[in-house]
Structure 1
């Protein structure tokens, strides 16, 4: 996956102490901004979480000596609002951890560059933020590792692989926050962490792979079917990891229930980087601190709240499905685009609309558009039972390099009888600078050069109150390693 310069802080939560870095103030009239007084506070708040030694950005922007050679490029990217990456249209929605720059901050950076990028007085330089080492929010209550060290070759295509491990809990556990840490971050394109309650009859777990009675490796989708249900019914998503995003903490009484004896699935997509590598990704869990703190289960798909209708280029796809792309054996409850027709060559505004009917009250906590290289834009619109429309999120210039989770500043109650309409455009034309092959049809699968349609969310179903189950024997376990 291409890396673009000037990455933002992966999350403001990565920064443990920002108190010394104040908000940007406009320089006095007749003076030029300087790095130490005016620009460094902006970079320290929004950029150096990634733009520092040992992080994923291609260069550091901590010191004047770091930033000065990149001054013109910094101006170009921030004026174009390409950096820090924050795709949400500011006219719609209010979100936590909004890392976009204000127009005043952009103007300060532009004026600094136009004035020759002066350094300023060293005494004006704010204290560098303190960053967490290791786990971004302290040591988790439990850490679960992939069951094996996986070898990634220097070159070639690595098939997306499910690695299963049994959770080490003898009682049910309730999770309020969780984090994914790759063992070798540079080769993890993305990862999904899931929970499966039980293995199918006759299946065995061998070196992290689930084998059926005939010894055939089973994907989690195959596991779901063998358990007699659909992916949505049988598979619970915990968290996604992409570079720059791998921690989530749930608002209110939302969280995750991991049942005793269940299995964690590490769904790993590796991308070779020119050198042989080894990875053993970890999942860190932060438990609820008291009984009842987690009362509602988080779901990542609107499909759990009611049926979905799909329209492609204005034509309804019967039952929301067409014959599956044979290459895409997925387990995301219909998300990902499998079942949709392929994207034709050279089209630049190919439209997919999904209409998600809400059949019972839900609470929404956030949204995550997920597309691949041809993804152009995605907009979520809520229509209430009385016909009023509200744009929940609009991402008019989707960037595959940055998979942003937009957490609502306040959870939104959505009544039964509502619908959420997601409109997405794909660009398979030569005008798309990321398009590797505009002359080809594009199918739906996991690799970056294939495409994906996944209007993800974080929701809870109001009626599904976990406190109503018998919890008389449910306790939080001690910290586990």
Structure 2
């Protein structure tokens, strides 16, 4: 009967793999629960269903209810459902309320920049895309197509019991690897108005006045000579040549690096964050050709090099690390080296910076202090010591709050831990540490403590292996910063404070942890932690083949020093409340 129906209707019978050659770009967003979603990371799924929800969709759209129903129906099947919300007046809290009212854990992704909705070419408020995430192919674009009495719908429903919509039929077919009727149902929603996108497209955006200032403020710090980035933003032509990659990294939130949850960005100083408006300006400039006024000066080309080779200016004290010869190949153990500081009086450190010579080989440096007592206890492997600070990619310098400092006593020395990795050629690293001091003792002396868990075994191939850690704050204290640390399989991590009265406060969330960027996140305003407060870290590892950084998904993974092992910890700067 279905074959006869198809012949009569003159419809096309297609397979999900080849229904269309149209493609969508990779993209990433955070959902209403603070979880990170990236299209390409669902490459093991047969399909990703993206439904765009107009501003009032939660109030009246039956199509949204169908999406929620299908999400529940296909639990465990190789298909993911997402609701994309490009409403400039919506909030994540509002979406959380909507999800609670609908009793669903379907991800609601707030597209606050509206760039993803625009890149996916949505035009109506209840349109749906079914995407092959491995290739970015569009399997289906159209309406949800609720079965509501149409003769064709009735015929399909009669022959496919339980079907509730054309989308249901498409997803059912794709999951089973079966062909389906390529007859898109029309979208019945209102035209989708991307007001923020329209506003930026109505502007006259220029490289000189609009784009270059954003690049200087957000990007040039890394994209400069001797910087950590792989290319230098030294002029328009270079940026224009990389404009396609810039677009990709903005849509996938890969750059700026080390991003925390957007909702947390205003709470922290010195974070790598780019605003929605700035992203829209860059994307508009790129889509119109990434050109410039050739007769006007190029702001990037005219940038003057800093007066000092140090990021924070000339240090008060420079400590030269011993030269380290790194072989071309092999696995290198940690190296501990004692270094005298040479102080004649106590000093309070206001900031420190690393001048790293061989960034490609120096994986990290951890600086410890040892007072006279600890030096007498100097056993093998670095001996008794107190953590001072460290370097890792993305953490080249640390500035402390103006009224805080780290005490260096005159009888202290440093114990330096070096970790090098081989890169296929021999080299010699000559790195340095620069210290900056307060002129007078600060109001608050900072100490370091940690929350960590080393008792985990990550099974091979698992995509989401949860790990938690807790630490108790014994005295009234203020919390100033976090420095989370995981290795290649680190996926996400968040922190909260559980106060003695049972109340809680979220402190920091990193939905898309990246081992290549080991950041320090410094609070603009310290958080008071009464004695007995518990700091809880909750995170997960991805040991699957879909983690692009995973060195070997076939291996069971435990705590260990090397990057192919794992760690789960975060250093915190705290100061005793006075």
Regarding TM over 0.5, the answer is yes
Residue 27 of structure 1: CA displacement? 8.2
Structure 1 residue aligned with 2:323, among 149, 152, 157?
149
Partners of 2:373 and 2:336 lie apart in 1 by: 14
Residue 437 of structure 1: CA displacement? 0.9
Q: Which residue of 2 aligns with 1:22?
A: none
Structure 2 residue runs of 5 or longer lacking an equivalent are: 1-196
Residue 69 of structure 1: CA displacement? 1.4
| Structure 1 contact 155–273 (Cα < 8 Å) conserved | yes
Residue 249 of structure 1: CA displacement? 2.2
Structure that is richer in helix per residue: 2
Structure 1 residue runs of 5 or longer lacking an equivalent are: 1-24, 204-209, 213-217, 225-234, 303-334, 464-481
Residue 122 of structure 1: CA displacement? 4.3
Structure 2 residue aligned with 1:236, among 382, 386, 396?
386
Residue 294 of structure 1: CA displacement? 5.5
Matched, 1:296 2:415: no
Give the 3-state SS of the residue equivalent to 1:365 in structure 2: strand
Partners of 2:339 and 2:251 lie apart in 1 by: 46
Render the CA deviation track for 1:194-238: whole Å, top value 9, x for unaligned. Answer: 1011377888xxxxxx6x6xxxxx112xx22xxxxxxxxxx2222
Q: Which residue of 2 aligns with 1:112?
A: 285
Give the 3-state SS of the residue equivalent to 1:108 in structure 2: helix
Q: Check 1:342–1:175 CA distance in 2 against 1; reply closer, same or farther (3 A cut).
A: same
Structure 1 residue aligned with 2:303, among 123, 128, 132?
128
Off by >6 Å, runs of 4+ in structure 1: 25-28, 199-203
- Higher-RCO chain (CA-CA 8 Å, sequence separation at least 6): 1
Matched, 1:179 2:353: yes
Residue 247 of structure 1: CA displacement? 1.5
Q: Between Structure 1 and Structure 2, how many residues are aligned? A: 379
Structure 2 residue aligned with 1:45, among 214, 217, 222?
217
- What aligned pairs does 1:38-437 form with structure 2 within 5 A after superposition? 38-92=210-264, 94-120=267-293, 122-123=295-296, 125-126=298-299, 128=303, 130-146=305-321, 148-198=322-372, 218-220=380-382, 223-224=383-384, 235-290=385-440, 292-293=441-442, 295-301=444-450, 335=452, 337-338=453-454, 340-437=455-552
Q: Check 1:432–1:185 CA distance in 2 against 1; reply closer, same or farther (3 A cut).
A: closer
Q: Which residue of 2 aligns with 1:459?
A: 574
Q: Which residue of 2 aligns with 1:231?
A: none
Q: Check 1:73–1:29 CA distance in 2 against 1; reply closer, same or farther (3 A cut).
A: closer
| Structure 2 contact 236–298 (Cα < 8 Å) conserved | no
Q: Check 1:151–1:415 CA distance in 2 against 1; reply closer, same or farther (3 A cut).
A: same
Q: Check 1:67–1:29 CA distance in 2 against 1; reply closer, same or farther (3 A cut).
A: closer
Bigger shift: residues 76-85 or 277-286: 277-286
Q: Which residue of 2 aligns with 1:332?
A: none
Larger-gyration structure (1/2): 2
Using structure 2 for the length normalisation, give the TM-score.
Answer: 0.61
| Structure 1 contact 79–106 (Cα < 8 Å) conserved | no
| Structure 2 contact 474–532 (Cα < 8 Å) conserved | yes
Residue 72 of structure 1: CA displacement? 1.1
